């Protein structure tokens, strides 16, 4: 058995600061990025991993592929608008779509907790089946583990996915450049609020449902139309604030948002106020941002709005050179402020 003393290099996360893993290390904010940048990134360093994308794009024997993985630990398992099953399918599908790939094949890795009602597993499996059919993907391989009662939480699902890249665009956070238009395919905040409302026992006049949806079809329509896409990102953990900070940081540009252009439903805004959240930081599961060349912005917007998953699409900002690496937002009254990455965990186990 190896002992810690066998390891010459010290832990790259200062143990004095973080002796233990915190919930925030999985929250999509600063601590998670520190873990990725200081520990995982250097340990597994290679050019493909350095793409800093939702998935890796690879070439094998002439075939251009995208490859992605996501583990899903959402709590509760069932929530308004979806469950862990469709979330797991759409999560993998959307990561592949954000590479501009056509999703083809998924794997499913189940970690079940002893004592899980068999019917709950069946509900989730049925939900995965329907979501896979809706997205046009197939589960081709899988694995099941069961852990003792109290060592898991019902169901955790990992989905990895393979897609095929059939275009010649360079879609990457590093390809974003000043002048790009920033488009969003709809209103933000619904998934996170749907989950938190169940957890907190909040009831609204009409239920706020998760926006979970497969984004491959709408993305492939943008590509098919020849839109000059520079970057695509689904807006999940950490919300648009964290997503845009990642992109601003990767490409050394400023993502300048216009608050009045960002669609937020009134009931979601109200729920955010009650719960003390800022919609900019709330997770979505059917929303993505497209960074496109300015010349194509209006055409891209029209394509999004013509799609069932883009009816509320909007151009919510532009990319500028300065202040480099930052996200800014012009408020409704005209003041501009810096929108930072979330430092901790706003909504744990949201996906």
What secondary structure does DSSP assign to 32-98, as a single string?
HHHIIIIIIHHHT--TTGGG-SSSEEEEETTEEEEEEEEEE--SSSEETTEEHHHHHHHHHHHHHHH
Closest approach of a second copy to the CB of residue 296, in Å: 27
Closest approach of a second copy to the CB of residue 4, in Å: 6
The residue (of 53 and 227) whose beta carbon lies closer to a second copy is 53
| Cα–Cα dist 55/51, whole Å | 8
The residue (of 54 and 296) whose beta carbon lies closer to a second copy is 54
What are the φ/ψ torsions at residue 110 (nearest 5 degrees)? -95, 135
Closest approach of a second copy to the CB of residue 300, in Å: 27
- Beta-bridge partners for 161: 68, 106
Closest approach of a second copy to the CB of residue 197, in Å: 11
The residue (of 162 and 257) whose beta carbon lies closer to a second copy is 162
Closest approach of a second copy to the CB of residue 49, in Å: 5
* Beta strand residue intervals within 239-331, DSSP E: 254-258, 288-292, 314-320, 327-330
The residue (of 26 and 317) whose beta carbon lies closer to a second copy is 26
| Cα–Cα dist 254/318, whole Å | 8
What secondary structure does DSSP assign to 192-220, as a single string?
HHHHHHHHHT---SSPPPP-----HHHHH
The residue (of 106 and 255) whose beta carbon lies closer to a second copy is 106
């Amino acid at each position: 058995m190896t002992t810690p003393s066998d390891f010459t290099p010290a832990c790259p996360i200062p143990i004095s600061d973080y002796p233990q893993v915190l919930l925030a290390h999985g929250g999509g904010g600063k601590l998670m990025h520190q873990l990725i940048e200081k520990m995982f990134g250097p340990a597994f360093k290679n050019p493909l991993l350095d793409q800093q994308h939702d998935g890796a794009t690879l070439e094998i024997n002439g075939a251009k592929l995208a490859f992605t993985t996501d583990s899903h630990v959402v709590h509760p398992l069932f929530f308004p608008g979806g469950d862990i099953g469709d979330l797991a399918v759409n999560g993998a599908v959307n990561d592949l779509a954000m590479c501009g790939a056509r999703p083809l094949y998924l794997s499913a890795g189940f970690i079940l907790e002893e004592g899980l009602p068999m019917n709950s597993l069946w509900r989730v499996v049925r939900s995965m089946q329907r979501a896979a059919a809706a997205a046009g993907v197939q589960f081709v391989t899988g694995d099941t583990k069961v852990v003792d009662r109290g060592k898991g939480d019902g169901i955790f699902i990992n989905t990895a996915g393979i897609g095929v890249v059939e275009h010649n665009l360079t879609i990457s956070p590093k390809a974003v450049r000043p002048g790009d238009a920033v488009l969003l395919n709809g209103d933000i905040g619904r998934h996170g609020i749907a989950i938190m409302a169940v957890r907190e026992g909040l009831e609204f006049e009409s239920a706020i449902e998760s926006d979970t949806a497969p984004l491959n079809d709408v993305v492939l329509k943008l590509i098919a139309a020849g839109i000059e896409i520079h970057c695509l990102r689904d807006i999940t953990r950490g919300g648009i604030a964290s997503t845009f900070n990642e992109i601003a940081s990767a490409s050394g540009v400023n993502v300048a948002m216009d608050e009045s252009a960002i669609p937020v439903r009134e009931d979601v805004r109200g729920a955010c106020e009650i719960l003390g959240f800022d919609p900019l930081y709330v997770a979505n599961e059917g929303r993505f941002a497209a960074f496109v060349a300015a010349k194509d912005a209006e055409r891209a917007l029209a394509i999004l709005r013509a799609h069932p998953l883009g009816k509320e699409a909007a151009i919510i900002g532009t990319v500028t050179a300065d202040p480099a690496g930052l996200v800014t937002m012009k408020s409704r009254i005209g003041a501009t402020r810096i929108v930072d990455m979330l430092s901790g965990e706003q909504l744990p186990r949201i996906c």
